[in-house]
Structure 1
Amino acid sequence: MPYSLSRLLPRLSFRQLQVFRSVYQHLSYSRAAEQLGLTQPAVSSQIRQLEQALGQPVFEYVGKQLYITAAGERLEGVTRTIFADLERLQMELAEMEGQVRGELRLAAVSTAQYVVPYLLKGFLQQYPHIDVRLEIVNRARATQRLTENRDDLVIMGMPPESGALHSIPFLDNLLVPVVRTDTPLLNLDSVEPQTFLDANLLIREPGSGTRKALEQLCHQKRLTLKPHMELGSNAAIKHGVLAGLGVAVLPRLSIQAELKLGQLACLDIEGFPLRRSWCTVHPAAKHPTPVMRAFLEYVQTAMCGLEEQVYGEPLT
């Protein structure tokens, strides 16, 4: 039987909860041991003591695969809250001493990976005692992480329309029509949007931000969107264009090097570039940590010079 709270607390330790979180994240005792600098028997011992204190197993093996139990899922939610509160306390105590230190947890959609480093460089120069953890995810996963409150901030374009979310735009994301430099389209005096879309269009999967922006354009202009091939990342699409598989609409930042090398070109087509904004997004009810507030304030102050820094020129 589980212990009462007064008997449970002396049998629990933060170390046990830390080990539990690591095993939960990796679903592996050996990988948790590697992450924490422990032996696998030490990890097993910590989990065994934790399960004895709770009176229920938190993990179970089915065959050779480790799974989380229902009790373990409940414990993960409580543990996440405990550690988040401790991190906030640490930040607030540092802030009382006039310092900003702690961890900033960011998630960014794949298209934003080209701009986030520019933000982090200046931010970390200003706040050298902050550690940044950055996850690059697709749009669907970014939206899910927002719902689960997994991160301090998510950086994405076209955030979900929801009163439960707060978003701040900070930089234009230019989506441009991209072709290989030997395409016959470059020899035309002008290219109609539908002509471009019919030239073997390579496109992201349904739900991606880039695809949603293109779908909106087609709906507004009454254009027909007939993808030639769906690919799972902008990098794959870029290399598809380079290989001669077709044309694409891509973030200009993702093809800067290829444009300079003359491997790719942007067509001058009515309706392009599509202008969307990268935004910082977080749940509206979220109470910002000092580190989170520092990053949001930095983004606001850096907006003016960010365009030229990222694109190499002011955008018109």
Structure 2
Amino acid sequence: MPLTIQKLASRLTFRQLQVYKAVYELRSYSQAGDLLGLTQPAVSSQVRQLEQALGTSLFEYIGRKLYTTAAGERMYDAVKGIFAEILDLQTELAALEGRVAGELRITAVNTAQYVVPYLMRPFLDKNPDVRISVRVVNRATAIERLSDNVDDLVIMGMVPDGKGLISIPFLDNELVAVAPAEHPLLSQPTVSAEEFLNSRLLMREAGSGSRLALEVHCHETRLKIPEAMILGSNDAIKHAVIAGLGVAVLPKLSILPELELGTLQILPIEHFPLRRSWCLVHPANKSLTPAARAFVEYIQKNAGEFSRQFDKQSHYFPHEDF
């Protein structure tokens, strides 16, 4: 038996296991090649060598669809465990040397995508052995992923209540009322909220953070939101406002270039901008990885610097509180 294991080990390579894992997860030789920077024939060759070493088929085509054999399913469990052990080993070795390593999986709501890149660079400069993956989703999906505990951390604004979550605010999120250049409301010294809401309001889909913030504000101030045109992203709303389709409430940090160019302008409305905070969120009972723990500590330590950095970017476009 030891000799068989030695022979098998001499014929297996980590590259074969990596290629196999990619094909299994993507269910495609070509997509696995794109992911790993290999041609499709090279992927096929690696899988074939692995099958020859194991003496069994791992994949099979039925029609034009790729399926995994029973041996392939068992192989995936083993390969996944091998790579998990390697990641754990890398993290532990880094910890012995006083470094932080490992994978950091972050999900960010759509409106946070303008903020997240500025958080990453200094952290990665200090912790080059951490590998960060960021998934950008809508708020409903972010809440679902929190419930399923599939990420290390989630970055969002409107954090749901009563969900057993830890929420760490780190940056103000100003939601401003905007109109296109030369809109009639811009000629007025002040604009009522009712006038704004009834000037062909553009909104995100139900459940989005920016829409929820406006709904909460209108509920608190007893304002009625009229029927609005619904668009699926803040970028779509931004361009729709610029095109003259209506007015909207958008995160200020997401429209700084348009404010500088003058294609969008902030309206002087009482009780605006709406003020919320970007937060790091995770389940209260979650055990954070060393990389996630280091990122949380980094964010908490540098929250003041983030505020100064983003204030500097946006101070050219002041607003007034009425």
TM-score strictly above 0.5: yes
Q: Secondary structure at the match of 1:280?
A: strand
Aligned partner of 1:199 in structure 2 is: 199
Deviations 1:60-111 (A, max 9, x none): 7665344679998998788767644542332122111112223322221111
Q: Measured at CA, do residues 112 and 71 of structure 1 come closer, stay the same or move farther in structure 2, by a change above 3 Å?
A: farther
Aligned partner of 2:225 in structure 1 is: 225
Q: How many residues align?
A: 305
Contact kept, 8 Å, 1:202 with 1:227, in 2: the verdict is no
Aligned partner of 1:42 in structure 2 is: 45
Contact kept, 8 Å, 1:91 with 1:289, in 2: the verdict is no
The one-letter code of the counterpart of 1:199 is S
The one-letter code of the counterpart of 1:206 is A
Q: Measured at CA, do residues 260 and 37 of structure 1 come closer, stay the same or move farther in structure 2, by a change above 3 Å?
A: closer
Counterparts of 1:283 and 1:291, CA distance in 2? 16
**Offset, 1:201:** 0.7
The one-letter code of the counterpart of 2:289 is T
Q: Secondary structure at the match of 2:44?
A: helix
Counterparts of 1:236 and 1:211, CA distance in 2? 14
Counterparts of 1:76 and 1:206, CA distance in 2? 39
Q: Measured at CA, do residues 211 and 69 of structure 1 come closer, stay the same or move farther in structure 2, by a change above 3 Å?
A: farther
**Offset, 1:170:** 0.7
Counterparts of 1:71 and 1:270, CA distance in 2? 66
The one-letter code of the counterpart of 1:41 is S
User: RMSD of the TM alignment (CA)?
Assistant: 3.3
Counterparts of 1:311 and 1:134, CA distance in 2? 24
Q: Measured at CA, do residues 47 and 177 of structure 1 come closer, stay the same or move farther in structure 2, by a change above 3 Å?
A: farther
Contact kept, 8 Å, 2:20 with 2:47, in 1: the verdict is no
Aligned partner of 2:120 in structure 1 is: 120
Aligned partner of 2:133 in structure 1 is: 133
Aligned partner of 1:296 in structure 2 is: 296
Question: In the TM superposition, what are the counterparts of 1:1-316 in structure 2 within 5 Å?
Answer: 18-37=18-37, 39-42=42-45, 44-45=47-48, 63-66=63-66, 83-84=83-84, 86-312=86-312
The 10-residue stretch of structure 1 (98-107 or 115-124) with the greater mean CA deviation from structure 2 = 98-107
Counterparts of 1:187 and 1:199, CA distance in 2? 14
Q: Measured at CA, do residues 87 and 146 of structure 1 come closer, stay the same or move farther in structure 2, by a change above 3 Å?
A: farther
Structure 1, unaligned stretches of length 5 or more? 1-6
- The normalised TM-score by structure 1 is 0.82
Counterparts of 1:50 and 1:146, CA distance in 2? 41
Contact kept, 8 Å, 2:169 with 2:278, in 1: the verdict is yes
Counterparts of 2:225 and 2:281, CA distance in 1? 30
**Offset, 1:158:** 1.3
Contact kept, 8 Å, 2:175 with 2:251, in 1: the verdict is yes
Counterparts of 1:241 and 1:148, CA distance in 2? 36
Counterparts of 1:76 and 1:173, CA distance in 2? 43
**Offset, 1:193:** 1.0
**Offset, 1:127:** 2.0
Q: Measured at CA, do residues 201 and 156 of structure 1 come closer, stay the same or move farther in structure 2, by a change above 3 Å?
A: same
Q: Measured at CA, do residues 83 and 212 of structure 1 come closer, stay the same or move farther in structure 2, by a change above 3 Å?
A: farther
Counterparts of 2:303 and 2:146, CA distance in 1? 23
Contact kept, 8 Å, 1:32 with 1:43, in 2: the verdict is no
